[in-house]
Amino acid sequence: MINMEKALHIVDQYKDLKGGLLECLHELQHIYGYIPKETIDITAEGFNISRAEVHGVISYYHDFRTKPHGKTVVRICQAEACQAMGSRALTNHVKEKLGLDMGETTEDLTLEPVYCFGNCALSPNMEINGKLHARVGQDDFDQLLMKEIES
């Protein structure tokens, strides 16, 4: 169970600000690590919009998530430069290896898309638990994942 008092305070802080909904959702995610479903009702109420509208905003922006991350978080760049250097094949390999689709999370693993790490010259790029890896091939990924899981 999450601390609802904190969530109410955050909603209160942003509900009257222009563009406050995005700020509020970012803050909720910053505090809890994700946007807990219990906070969606109070967010909708606070901003005087429907729950569906709050869900709409959450699903529109790739950065928001409604579940806690798995222990290992894998993020792969899906933007143009990385695609031109094989990120699509890499993504398919990673999906198969992890048994997850993009955006899915289990207790152990999370797989997320990123739209440019700002490291395009060394494409394709991916991040494992916050560490950026450049020019990653399929075999590289297998080794990186092993190392990360064992550490």
CB proximity list for 105: less than 8 A, separation 6 or greater = 65, 67, 68, 69, 70, 111
Judged by CB under 6 A, which stretch of 11-19, 74-82, 89-97, 105-113 contacts ligand FES?
74-82
Q: State the number of binding residues for ligand FES (CB under 6 A).
A: 11
* From 81, 102, 144, 145, residue interacting with ligand FES (rule: CB under 6 A): 81
113 alpha carbon, distance to own chain's centre: 8
Instruction: For residue 73, state whether it binds ligand FES (rule: CB under 6 A).
Output: no
Closest by CA to 94, choosing from 115, 76, 106, 119, is: 76
Instruction: For residue 79, state whether it binds ligand FES (rule: CB under 6 A).
Output: yes
Separation CA 126–CA 129 (nearest Å):
10
Separation CA 62–CA 49 (nearest Å):
21
Site string for ligand FES, 3-32 (x = CB under 6 A): ------------------------------
Q: What residues from 110 to 139 belong to the interface with ligand FES (CB under 6 A)? A: 116-117, 119-120, 123, 125
Min separation Cβ 123 and ligand FES, Å: 5
